[in-house]
Structure formats: C-alpha cells, structure tokens
Amino acid sequence: MAQPSSINDLPDVILFSIIAAISDVRTRNSASLVSKKWLYVDRSTRTHLTLRGNARDLFMLPSCFRSITHLDLSFLSPWGHPLFSGSDSTLFAQLLKQSFPNVQSLVIYSRNPTAVHALAPQWPALRQVKLVRWHQRPPQLPPGSDIPIFENFLDVLDLSRFYCWTDDIPPALKSNAKIATRLTALNLLNPAFPEGFRGQEVEEITSSCPNLKKLLMTCMFDPRYIGSVGDGTLISVAVNCPKLVLLHLADPLALVNARADPDTQDFAQDDAGITVATLIEMLSGLPLLEELTLDVCNNIRNTGPALETLTTKCPNLKCLKLGNLHGISMPVGSKLDGLALCHRLESLSIRNVADLTDMGLIAIARGCSNLSKFEVQGCKNITVRGLRTFVCLLSRTLIHVKISCCKNLGARSSLKALEPIQNQIQKLHIDCIWDDNLDQFDDLEIEIDHKRKKQKLDFDLNEARSWEKLKHLSLWFTVGELLTPLLSSGLEDCPNLEEINIKVEGDCRHFSKPAEREFGLRCLGLYPKLSKMKVDCGDTIGYAHTAPSGQMDLSLWERFYLFGIGDLGLVELDYWPPQDRDVNQRSLSLPAAGLLQECLMLRKLFIHGTAHEHFLMFLLRIPNLRDVQLREDYYPAPENDMCTEMRADSCSRFEDALNRRRILD
C-alpha cells in the first residue's frame, strides 16, 4: 500500500519557496511550530524583522534570524529615548551585529546620533537607512551634525519622520559629497517642516545627488515668500536628476491634510510662480518618470497642455497626484484633452481642482480606462451624477476610491454613486457628512456619450447589495457627528471588512456636550471579520484640565468616542487621544483606560500619546494583550521626561508586569 504523502515530502527548494512567500507574521510564526524542519525553514527565509521590547533586556535578543536584511529598531522601548549611550553602546552594537550579520536596511529612532554612529560600522553592506525622531534636535549639536551620512555607500536615505530643519539637509549632503552622489532615493517629505524647502535649497540638494531615482520633498510654493519654488527650481530638478522614476513635490499644508470649508472651495488667493511652459520643459527632461506628485496650495492655471505631454514625454507614467492644478480636463463635445489623454494611468489623485466638472470627470474616465485607484478631494463642482458615470466607465478596474471634502458628495451620495462597483471595491474612504436629501436619487438617469451610445442607469433605493470585497474602510467625522447613521447609508453588508480607520477632527470647545451619549462604535459589531481599528482623535482639540463651567473636558469626550469599543472583538488598535494644544501633550484619560480594558480580544495596542502608570495597569486585565506601546509621535514631542506620564521606569514596570503573565497562545 502506498504511503500517504504530505507537504513535507516536497523537495526542500519548493518548501523553502512556499514558506518564504508567506507575508503575514502570525502565520509564519504558526508555521514554525509545525516541526523542527519548518522552524528551520522559517528562520532561514525570514528577511524582515521589527524588534519590540525593552532595550535593556539584551538577553532576550533573538539570535536565530541569520538571514535578516531589513531590521527595524525604531519601536524599541522606552520609545523615543536614546537607544543606548555611554559604555554599553559598543556592546549593544556588537550583539546586534552577531544576531543579524546581513543587515542591508535599517530603521532607527535617532534622538541623538550616538546610536547610529555605533551601529553603522557593524554592517558594511548597509544600503538603506530611515531615521525617526519627533523630539527636537539636542541643543548642543550644530546644524546638520545630527544627520549622519554614513561612511557606508548608502543608496536610500529616508528622513520623512525625522524632526530637523530644512537648512540642516544641504550642509549634511555637501560635507559628504561622495556618498550623496551615490544616493538613488531621498525622502524629505516631512510634515515637521512648517514651510518646506526654498528654491535654493532644492537646487543644492538635487545638484548634490545627481543619481537620484526617487525624490520626495516638501517645498515652499507660496510666491509671497522670498525664495519660493518657481520655474527655475523645477527646471533645475529635471536637469540635475534626469534619472528620476518617482518625483513627489508637495506643499507642507498638503501633508497635514488640511481641510477647507467645502462651501468656500475655489481658486486659491494667489497663483504659484510656475507656468505651463515650465511644466512641459520639466516633464520633457524626465522621460523615465513612473510616479509624479505635484501638490501645491497655490493656483497653477490652464495645465491641460502640460498634462497632454505626459503621454509622449513620460510614457511609463502610472501614478499621478495633482493639487491646485486647474484646467486638467476641459472637453468640448466628445473630444478628449488634458489629463484624459494619459491612457496608461493606473492611479490618480486630484485635490482642489476648482474648475473640474462632471463632464471633465467623465472625460478622464473615458481616457484613463485602466485606473484602479482614484482619489478626489475638494472639488466642489462634481456631483453624484458625474461620479456614478465615472465609476461605471471604470467598473472593470477600479478597486480603491477616496472621496473627501467635496461639497456635493456626502456619505450617502458617495455610496450611491459607487453602487455600480460596490461588489468589487476593496478600499474606500468617505466623509461622514450625513446628507439626508435623497430626492436627487429618484429616477436618476445618466446619459453617457461613449462610443456614440447612450446608457441609462437606474437607481433602486431599496436594493441591498453586498460590499463583498471591501476589506479596508476609512471614515472622516467632524466633532459632534455620530457614527450610527453609517449602516443605514448603505454599508450594512460588508462580510469581509477587516480594518476601519476613523478620523475625528474639530474643536470641542465649540460644543458644551455631544447630542447623544455615545459615538456609536458598538454598531460596527455587525461586521463579522472586523479585527483592526484606528481611532484618530489627534486633531480633536479641547480643554485638558481647564474646562469652564458648562463645558466638557477631553476625558468626557474620550468616553463619548470610545464607549462600546469593548463589544467589537478587536485584535489590533491604534488610538490617538485628543489634545489640548496649549500644553503640547496628548494623554490617555481615566475613562479611556477603563473602556480600553474591556477589549478582551486585543493583542496589540498602540497609544499615540502618553499615559499615567496606574492607567496602564488597567490594561493588564486584557488576557491576550501581547504588545503595548506609548508613542509621542507628534511634532515636537514633549521634552519633559520627568513627568510621571513619560518616565522610562514607569513604562518598564508595566512591560515587566505584562511579560510575567501567562498567555496561552
């Protein structure tokens, strides 16, 4: 009788390839428990590792991951403190070298340059470095000295989460000219830069790094400031870095997702110092471009002719993001123009295009028939009719949609417009502005002049269809709005929804109290597979301890937003507490700690703020909790480390108590 075969009978080469293809960390961990052979295969094929835990516990440093090439040390606790200092720096660096001898990519929280200077010599093959810091530069260091341009021949330098000043970058690159010349990717897309790089700084950076293939920067486009980015700067980027594959130039305000009043959206007050002729010349000098972002906060008018050149000058362009570029599509009859001629686009994002109408949007859908991702923000002339026709034309390919801050597209209108693709969309963002007037949907007829045919699209308001492929949902709320109308708006049937991001923004000081007792999180229990959630109240402002009579302080607002979260069965939660900006601090309150402890299924909890030690001890009542971290990841992070909410010893005592518990799995 033939013996039954199993997966272990596969040749080792095939088994190694199968396990190496598994990306989910918990699945790999489970696979490693099957047998000693599978354990060896997992450890031998794992290339990415993020270390968590306390930096003082060197005896817990794993030594079995010898093939790691991408190592992330930025989450070691106490988070935000120097990784090591003094006599232990050499020992720690050598231990890391022995445990991970093949590191090529490193991410590290660099509060001061000591750790980086100690670690860099240990890995001569280091090619990619990302520095993280939300704290201010140590006062004793001169400008640019805390940006270590290593002796290694770096290819990629990422400073997108590194708190520094714009005038620190050019000196650091000039003083290490040989290494800067080798760089192929430079990420300076940092929201900590309040004004962005001036034109002269952009020219100095690009001239120092002529071999860049990826460049991401925040720039000052406002012509009211001396040295703003204009025609000469854009042309210098193309001349200095002709090999660019990805170019991302954005105004700092675009990074913080600043929202304008939808009723006042129109052309900006001033025009940028950039002409259409310059755009054409710049694009002509970058023939290898695959991704382009030009997101400004000042007007660039009549850009259609420049966008038409993308088809011939940048034939490989797949991803395009535009902000405040007007005249991108102004069709006359059935003739396509401007952006609609970019037939190869797969991802498109447009923001604050004041003259974009339904006809322009439909023309883009006709021309860009391969779009799989579409984002629109701040376009007040787009209506539900135009958007519905747009998604109908792209029903074969469109799976990722974001609709934000558009006057005529509230939550219900957006969902109605997306009905033709609701059974295939995978990722969605809408603004939860509850537009109650549904009369506009009755007997709606949209005529599409496409290939000289007319198509009638009928709405059935009573038809219930499933969002069966939707896995990620993102929602925006203004302060005081409720979550409960979401389900009745058309999202009641999402059988495979796994993750929800909730962003709440506004000033609580304008309200004495909410209209209802709770925000409505418990209604999300209708989604059976929901396991991950982000609740971001970081831009919710209120009174921390000084609420006047008749006003709620932030602790009561936290109770309002988190009430019922324990009923959801979440496994991972990221939570940004609201803040009082007068004290530059976000802190977990007593009601919030009490409600979070009711999330009995939680395994990972990241609090993007601070918490008192005795509030943290509440979390020990969550039986399966494995990973908890406090992160002050906002600019600038508070410097007063003697506060009881931020003391390193407090975090360490909580971690010790967490590790002493017995967790079954």
- Count the neighbouring beta carbons within 10 Å of the beta carbon of residue 540: 24
Average pLDDT over residues 286-311: 93
Q: Place 360 in a pLDDT band, splitting at 50, 70 and 90.
A: very high
Least confident of 81-95, 179-193, 524-538: 81-95
- Predicted pLDDT at 264: 63
Structure tokens at 18: 């199968």
Q: Which of 338, 317, 310, 344 is nearest to 326 (CA)?
A: 338
User: In terms of residues, how long is the chain?
Assistant: 665
Run of H or E residues at 428: strand 427-431
> CB under 8 Å to 105, separation ≥6 — which residues?
69, 70, 71, 126, 127, 128, 129, 130, 156
Structure tokens at 184: 């192929």
* CATH tag for 7-46 (out of 3.40.50, 3.30.70, 2.60.40, 1.20.1280): 1.20.1280
Domain boundary assignment for the chain: 7-46, 466-665
- Count the neighbouring beta carbons within 10 Å of the beta carbon of residue 430: 24
- Count the neighbouring beta carbons within 10 Å of the beta carbon of residue 8: 11
Domain 7-46 matches domain 466-665 at the CATH topology level: no
Q: Which residues pair with 271 in a beta bridge?
A: 299
Mean pLDDT over all residues of the chain? 87
> CB under 8 Å to 636, separation ≥6 — which residues?
134, 135, 136, 163, 192, 584
pLDDT digits (tens, 9 = 90+) for 402-440: 999 999 999 999 999 999 999 999 999 999 998 755 555
Rounded to whole angstroms, what are the CA distances from 474 to 261, 402, 485, 633, 652? 20, 9, 15, 21, 34
- Inter-axis angle of helices 358-367 and 384-393, nearest 10: 10
DSSP alpha helices (H): ranges in 73-168?
A: 88-99, 114-119
Average pLDDT over residues 506-532: 91
Contact 440, 410 (CB under 8 A): no
CATH number belonging to domain 466-665: 3.80.10
Q: Place 644 in a pLDDT band, splitting at 50, 70 and 90.
A: low
- Predicted pLDDT at 640: 64
Q: Place 291 in a pLDDT band, splitting at 50, 70 and 90.
A: very high
Q: Place 449 in a pLDDT band, splitting at 50, 70 and 90.
A: very low
Q: Which of 249, 238, 359 is nearest to 298 (CA)?
A: 249
Residue 106 has pLDDT above 60, yes or no: yes
Residue 281 has pLDDT above 50, yes or no: yes
Contact 528, 493 (CB under 8 A): no
pLDDT digits (tens, 9 = 90+) for 231-258: 999 999 999 999 999 999 999 988 876 6
Q: Name the DSSP class of 66.
A: T
Residue 601 has pLDDT above 60, yes or no: yes
Q: Place 128 in a pLDDT band, splitting at 50, 70 and 90.
A: very high
Average pLDDT over residues 303-309: 93
- The strand pair at 579-580 and 585-586 is best described as antiparallel
Residue 488 Rama label (left phi>0; alpha psi -120 to 50; beta): alpha
Place of tokens 């088994």: 15
Residue 642 has pLDDT above 50, yes or no: no
Average pLDDT over residues 5-28: 78
